[in-house]
Structure 1
Amino acid sequence: MDIKTIEEIVKLFNKEGLTKLKIQGEDGSIHIEKNNTVSSANEPAASPEQSGTEKSSNLLEITAEQVGTFYTNKEEGSDETFVSVGDTVSKGDTVGLIEAMKVFNEITTEHEGTIEEILVEHGDVVEYGQVIMTVKPEEG
């Protein structure tokens, strides 16, 4: 299953408002659930170069650059988050952290616009290439 096919399946999954989908075929399998976890038996997730692709709804995607635990809060025990829905972001802004093997890595955006949706919760495990947020681009 090539990455384009996987991307089309994910778009259709979101468009139709499904909560769970599992496809098995000769060339691999894919399992998607509403918590936006995507797994494939023999294909890697989208590469970082593909992380800025536009969705059909004109939203831009911020994706996980590695596997790990995603954190929305700036500090442990704090309620202060990096970004919230409705916040304006600029290229290079930190939108969260991913912890892997006790190393915290900043997740930054390559987009300018407004955070439209945050698709993962504080403390969720994310997959490489998984969409974690969507950004509505600035008009102009």
Structure 2
Amino acid sequence: MDIDKIKELVKLFKEEELTKLKVEEGDVKIHIEKSEVIQSGAPPAAGREDGGAAEEASSASGLTEIKAPQVGTFYLQKEEGSDENFVNAGDSVEAGDQIGIIEAMKVFNDVTTDHSGVIEEILVENGDAVEFDQVLMTLRKEGE
């Protein structure tokens, strides 16, 4: 891997506000990770180290919104050309389950959920370009 490729990856890391990036090309492995310093009383930063989607409750509907953790292309299908999705509306999911992938500059990042529940609605299509914090799906948490 040449230095220009490494510089491009670092630029992507900064521009997309990623918290972790792992790339393997042949016998070269690159791991970039941002550590966060949180001051007392300050809210945690928006980025997540585990690659999970940002989720927050939508008070009016009682649903939790699953949001894109970064900019890129969202893939709902497990494999290109496959009919099998990571999740479908009505599926039950457990906290930590993968619900899709976001690709940015040939780097594929898993999107996971923080909560257990049922996927109520999928708001994006396979292959859609998504923005940071865009709502991808809604989830009804267990017991609600």
Structure possessing the higher radius of gyration over alpha carbons: 2
| 2:67 aligned with 1:81 | no
Give unpaired runs (5+ residues) of structure 1: 1-45
Structure 1, residues 74-102: CA drift from partner, whole Å, max 9, x if none?
Answer: 00110100000000001100000000000
Q: Which amino acid aligns with 1:52?
A: E
Alignment of 1:1-140 (within 5 A): 47-48=46-47, 51-56=54-59, 57-139=61-143
**SS of the residue aligned with 1:54?**
strand
Q: Which amino acid aligns with 2:64?
A: L
Give the C-alpha shift of residue 47 in structure 1.
3.1
What is the RMSD computed on CA atoms of the aligned residues?
A: 1.9
How many positions carry a matched residue from both structures?
95
- Output the CA distance in 2 between the equivalents of 1:125 and 1:94: 19
Residue 63 of structure 1 contacts residue 129 of structure 1 at CA under 8 Å; is this kept in 2? yes
Give unpaired runs (5+ residues) of structure 2: 1-44
- Output the CA distance in 2 between the equivalents of 1:73 and 1:89: 16
Residue 48 of structure 1 contacts residue 129 of structure 1 at CA under 8 Å; is this kept in 2? no
- Output the CA distance in 1 between the equivalents of 2:115 and 2:55: 8
* Percent identity for Structure 1 against Structure 2: 59
